[in-house]
Structure 1
Amino acid sequence: MKKLSILFLSVLTLGMAVVSCSKDDDNETSASIEGKWNLSKMSYTANNITSPEADNWDNTPGCTKNYLEIKTGGVAVYGSYEGSDCTLSTETGTWSKDGNKITIKYGTDIEVYELISVTDSGLTLRYTFTESGQSFTVNDIYTK
């Protein structure tokens, strides 16, 4: 009987250890914002009207898509292809993340984005700016 009790306690302990060590992060994403993200679509809101998502708003027709590269070590690179010869122009800066806020600094320019979503293949950033007294909210949608 004593052997049976020890066996039962051993099985019970092992079972609890397995259950307590199981991964319980199903609702959390393990996707990283680091990587090279190609700008695929944009939408904007002004005067409470949101435009439909449109392809190539910031991309020169016929050129490779503009990109945002977020590197380890806090380095950010924005690349845009411009002109009829699709010349690549890059801007290098730094980035940091605090909660769902991403700040990218290019020289004296500081851009603050809200991280809307990130998956292994997609990144959506939102930012707001004011021009001529009009407030705009922009959603940048990137893919890998």
Structure 2
Amino acid sequence: MKTKIQSLIFFVLCIAMSSCSSDDDGNTNLTPEGRWLVSSLLVESSFDFNGDGTTSRDLFEETPCYDGNFIEFFDDGDVIIDIDFTNVYVDINNEQAYQCQNGFGLTSTWTQDGNTITVENDDEQGDIVGTISGNTITVTILNGFEMELYDEVNDQHVGVTEDFTIIFTKFDE
């Protein structure tokens, strides 16, 4: 099984700013200005890359690949995105390995309407819309975690996707 988070669109979507919030939390004037660090990257499958004997769905806990990755919003409407990639490999014997790879730096623009933030995305899928709440931004990417599973019965590789969720936490300098 070979797993890869690889496409630029998925990481642009990471900037989408989908956040769980309650209308009752009183956070009606939230603004995203500042730096937000990746603090969690959840996938549907569990792994034990750090060898602690406990599997986790959080690639941020299991690998060092996302340490220091961020999104930064500026008050002039610009945004900088610095996100890396992780290649994840799981073979037929369930042996697991990963490789951190340099991602990309991207600049774009953002707008806000209440707690809704829109990041301009020139990709064919269009702009990305999300919400902000407190000191976290949560982004769920549907079918963004790609896996290639080996089907022993048919002796072939089969592509499978999972959803993944990235949580950004506001960086206090």
TM-score by length of 1: 0.51
Unaligned stretches of 5+ residues in structure 2: 1-23, 45-55, 87-98, 147-159
Matched, 1:112 2:128: yes
Give 1:137 shift: 4.6
Task: Note if contact 2:41-2:58 (Cα within 8 Å) is conserved in structure 1.
Answer: yes
Number of aligned residue pairs: 111
Tell me what 1:94 maps to: 109
How much identity, in percent, do the aligned residues show?
A: 21
Residue in structure 1 matching 2:139, options 121, 125, 129:
125
Q: Which amino acid aligns with 1:125?
A: V
CA gap 1:82/1:125 in 2 versus in 1, 3 angstroms:
closer
TM-score by length of 2: 0.45
Stretch of structure 1 that moved more, 99-108 or 28-37: 99-108
Residues 22-81 of structure 1: per-residue CA shift (max 9 Å, x gap):
xxxx94124422211011112356xxxxxx751428xx7367421111111211110135
Q: Which has the higher helix share?
A: 1
Structure with greater contact order relative to length (CA < 8 Å, sep ≥ 6): 2
Tell me what 2:60 maps to: 56
Tell me what 2:4 maps to: none
Task: Note if contact 2:30-2:115 (Cα within 8 Å) is conserved in structure 1.
Answer: no
CA gap 1:82/1:129 in 2 versus in 1, 3 angstroms:
closer
Task: Note if contact 2:70-2:83 (Cα within 8 Å) is conserved in structure 1.
Answer: yes
> Over alpha carbons, which structure has the higher Rg?
1
Q: Which amino acid aligns with 2:139?
A: L
Tell me what 2:167 maps to: 141
Give 1:92 shift: 0.3
Task: Note if contact 2:37-2:168 (Cα within 8 Å) is conserved in structure 1.
Answer: yes
CA gap 1:79/1:100 in 2 versus in 1, 3 angstroms:
same
Q: Which amino acid aligns with 1:28?
A: G
- Alignment partner of 2:120: what SS? strand
CA gap 1:138/1:96 in 2 versus in 1, 3 angstroms:
farther
Tell me what 2:38 maps to: 39
Give 1:107 shift: 4.5
